[in-house]
Amino acid sequence: MNKKCIFITIILAILLLCGNVFAASNNYVSLKKEKTDNKDEIKIIVSIKKLEKGALGLQGTFDYKKDDLEILETNVLNDNFSLTAFNKENGKFIIEITDEAFFDEKLHLNDEDVLEVVFKVNKKSDINLKDIKMVDSQLNTIESEDITLKLSNNIFLLIIILVVIIILSFIFKNKKIKK
Protein backbone atom coordinates (compact mmCIF):
# COMPACT_ATOMS: atom_id res chain seq x y z
CA MET A 1 0.00 0.00 0.00
CA ASN A 2 2.74 2.47 0.94
CA LYS A 3 4.69 1.84 -2.26
CA LYS A 4 1.55 2.64 -4.24
CA CYS A 5 1.11 5.95 -2.40
CA ILE A 6 4.72 6.94 -3.01
CA PHE A 7 4.51 5.89 -6.67
CA ILE A 8 1.28 7.85 -7.23
CA THR A 9 2.77 10.91 -5.51
CA ILE A 10 5.88 10.76 -7.71
CA ILE A 11 3.79 10.43 -10.88
CA LEU A 12 1.61 13.39 -9.84
CA ALA A 13 4.71 15.46 -9.13
CA ILE A 14 6.14 14.68 -12.55
CA LEU A 15 2.86 15.53 -14.26
CA LEU A 16 2.55 18.82 -12.39
CA LEU A 17 6.08 19.84 -13.27
CA CYS A 18 5.91 18.79 -16.90
CA GLY A 19 2.58 20.51 -17.46
CA ASN A 20 4.27 23.90 -17.64
CA VAL A 21 7.39 22.88 -19.54
CA PHE A 22 5.87 21.90 -22.83
CA ALA A 23 4.02 24.01 -25.34
CA ALA A 24 0.67 25.41 -24.42
CA SER A 25 -1.92 24.93 -27.10
CA ASN A 26 -5.52 24.86 -28.11
CA ASN A 27 -7.20 23.58 -31.26
CA TYR A 28 -5.51 25.78 -33.88
CA VAL A 29 -2.71 27.78 -32.29
CA SER A 30 0.12 26.80 -29.97
CA LEU A 31 2.89 28.55 -28.06
CA LYS A 32 6.27 27.19 -27.10
CA LYS A 33 9.26 28.74 -25.45
CA GLU A 34 12.87 28.48 -26.49
CA LYS A 35 15.99 29.73 -24.78
CA THR A 36 18.32 32.21 -26.41
CA ASP A 37 22.06 32.74 -26.04
CA ASN A 38 21.27 35.59 -23.67
CA LYS A 39 19.97 34.26 -20.33
CA ASP A 40 17.86 37.40 -19.86
CA GLU A 41 15.86 36.71 -23.04
CA ILE A 42 13.36 34.11 -24.14
CA LYS A 43 11.80 33.31 -27.51
CA ILE A 44 8.12 32.57 -27.79
CA ILE A 45 7.10 30.73 -30.95
CA VAL A 46 3.52 30.99 -32.25
CA SER A 47 2.49 28.03 -34.40
CA ILE A 48 -0.65 27.33 -36.37
CA LYS A 49 -2.02 23.87 -36.83
CA LYS A 50 -3.13 22.51 -40.15
CA LEU A 51 -6.54 23.72 -41.20
CA GLU A 52 -8.56 21.71 -43.68
CA LYS A 53 -9.34 24.86 -45.66
CA GLY A 54 -5.95 26.53 -45.22
CA ALA A 55 -5.09 29.54 -43.09
CA LEU A 56 -5.23 33.05 -44.53
CA GLY A 57 -4.50 34.99 -41.39
CA LEU A 58 -4.08 35.02 -37.64
CA GLN A 59 -4.54 37.73 -35.07
CA GLY A 60 -4.13 37.79 -31.33
CA THR A 61 -2.90 39.75 -28.35
CA PHE A 62 0.04 38.98 -26.09
CA ASP A 63 -0.92 39.79 -22.51
CA TYR A 64 1.85 39.90 -19.92
CA LYS A 65 3.13 42.01 -17.04
CA LYS A 66 4.94 44.93 -18.65
CA ASP A 67 7.26 45.34 -15.64
CA ASP A 68 8.34 41.68 -15.85
CA LEU A 69 8.69 41.25 -19.62
CA GLU A 70 9.55 43.49 -22.55
CA ILE A 71 9.16 42.70 -26.25
CA LEU A 72 12.52 43.16 -27.99
CA GLU A 73 11.82 41.89 -31.49
CA THR A 74 9.44 39.95 -33.70
CA ASN A 75 10.25 37.74 -36.67
CA VAL A 76 8.05 35.94 -39.17
CA LEU A 77 9.25 32.32 -39.39
CA ASN A 78 7.40 31.25 -42.50
CA ASP A 79 7.77 32.70 -46.01
CA ASN A 80 4.08 32.07 -46.67
CA PHE A 81 3.06 34.68 -44.07
CA SER A 82 3.83 38.32 -43.39
CA LEU A 83 3.49 40.33 -40.21
CA THR A 84 0.99 42.99 -41.20
CA ALA A 85 0.84 44.67 -37.80
CA PHE A 86 2.49 44.34 -34.41
CA ASN A 87 1.89 46.82 -31.61
CA LYS A 88 4.57 46.54 -28.90
CA GLU A 89 2.53 48.73 -26.57
CA ASN A 90 -0.51 46.44 -26.34
CA GLY A 91 0.85 43.17 -27.81
CA LYS A 92 -1.67 42.98 -30.68
CA PHE A 93 -0.56 41.40 -33.94
CA ILE A 94 -1.94 40.43 -37.33
CA ILE A 95 -0.31 37.88 -39.62
CA GLU A 96 -1.58 37.40 -43.17
CA ILE A 97 -0.76 34.96 -45.92
CA THR A 98 1.38 36.42 -48.69
CA ASP A 99 -0.04 36.98 -52.18
CA GLU A 100 2.32 34.36 -53.61
CA ALA A 101 1.19 31.73 -51.12
CA PHE A 102 -2.48 32.63 -51.60
CA PHE A 103 -2.41 31.53 -55.23
CA ASP A 104 -0.29 28.46 -54.52
CA GLU A 105 -2.16 25.16 -54.69
CA LYS A 106 -0.25 24.02 -51.60
CA LEU A 107 -2.17 26.49 -49.44
CA HIS A 108 -3.16 23.70 -47.06
CA LEU A 109 -0.04 23.82 -44.94
CA ASN A 110 0.99 21.41 -42.24
CA ASP A 111 1.58 22.63 -38.72
CA GLU A 112 3.78 25.71 -39.13
CA ASP A 113 5.76 28.04 -36.89
CA VAL A 114 4.71 31.50 -38.04
CA LEU A 115 5.90 34.07 -35.50
CA GLU A 116 8.80 34.44 -33.10
CA VAL A 117 8.65 37.04 -30.34
CA VAL A 118 11.76 37.71 -28.28
CA PHE A 119 11.14 38.97 -24.76
CA LYS A 120 13.58 40.49 -22.30
CA VAL A 121 12.88 38.80 -18.96
CA ASN A 122 13.17 41.07 -15.94
CA LYS A 123 11.19 38.65 -13.77
CA LYS A 124 9.67 35.33 -14.79
CA SER A 125 5.98 35.81 -15.43
CA ASP A 126 3.22 34.15 -17.43
CA ILE A 127 2.51 35.08 -21.04
CA ASN A 128 -1.05 34.90 -22.30
CA LEU A 129 -2.14 34.86 -25.92
CA LYS A 130 -5.73 36.01 -26.08
CA ASP A 131 -8.34 37.22 -28.59
CA ILE A 132 -7.05 34.60 -31.04
CA LYS A 133 -8.79 34.52 -34.40
CA MET A 134 -7.88 32.74 -37.62
CA VAL A 135 -9.38 33.14 -41.07
CA ASP A 136 -9.51 30.14 -43.42
CA SER A 137 -9.61 30.13 -47.23
CA GLN A 138 -13.43 30.16 -47.18
CA LEU A 139 -13.23 33.42 -45.16
CA ASN A 140 -14.60 31.72 -42.04
CA THR A 141 -13.40 33.25 -38.78
CA ILE A 142 -12.26 30.64 -36.29
CA GLU A 143 -11.90 31.78 -32.70
CA SER A 144 -9.59 29.89 -30.39
CA GLU A 145 -9.29 29.67 -26.65
CA ASP A 146 -6.81 31.86 -24.81
CA ILE A 147 -3.42 30.25 -24.15
CA THR A 148 -1.24 30.71 -21.08
CA LEU A 149 2.45 29.86 -21.16
CA LYS A 150 4.01 29.69 -17.73
CA LEU A 151 7.58 30.92 -17.47
CA SER A 152 7.82 30.74 -13.70
CA ASN A 153 9.83 27.94 -12.13
CA ASN A 154 8.08 25.28 -10.14
CA ILE A 155 11.10 24.51 -7.99
CA PHE A 156 9.14 25.45 -4.86
CA LEU A 157 6.43 22.96 -5.79
CA LEU A 158 9.04 20.27 -6.45
CA ILE A 159 10.62 20.83 -3.03
CA ILE A 160 7.24 20.53 -1.30
CA ILE A 161 6.43 17.29 -3.14
CA LEU A 162 9.83 15.80 -2.32
CA VAL A 163 9.43 16.68 1.36
CA VAL A 164 5.98 15.03 1.39
CA ILE A 165 7.43 11.89 -0.23
CA ILE A 166 10.25 11.72 2.33
CA ILE A 167 7.81 12.17 5.22
CA LEU A 168 5.49 9.50 3.83
CA SER A 169 8.36 7.06 3.40
CA PHE A 170 9.49 7.60 7.02
CA ILE A 171 5.93 7.13 8.29
CA PHE A 172 5.51 3.87 6.41
CA LYS A 173 8.98 2.63 7.44
CA ASN A 174 8.23 3.31 11.10
CA LYS A 175 4.92 1.43 10.86
CA LYS A 176 6.73 -1.63 9.46
CA ILE A 177 9.38 -1.50 12.21
CA LYS A 178 6.71 -1.33 14.98
CA LYS A 179 4.89 -4.37 13.59
CB neighbours of residue 151 within 10 Å: 18
Question: Using CA of residue 112, residue 98, residue 149, residue 141, what is the dihedral sign?
Answer: negative
- Asked if 165 and 9 touch (Cβ cutoff 8 Å), the reply is yes
Question: Using CA of residue 130, residue 134, residue 139, residue 141, what is the dihedral sign?
Answer: negative
Higher pLDDT, 45 or 152: 45
- Asked if 171 and 177 touch (Cβ cutoff 8 Å), the reply is no
Q: What is the value of pTM for the model shown?
A: 0.67
Q: What is the mean pLDDT of the chain?
A: 76
Interval 85-122: pLDDT, tens: 999 889 899 988 887 777 665 555 567 888 999 999 88
Which domains are delineated in the chain? 1-20+154-179 (no CATH), 24-153 (2.60.40.680)
Interval 121-156: pLDDT, tens: 888 888 888 998 888 777 888 888 888 877 766 666
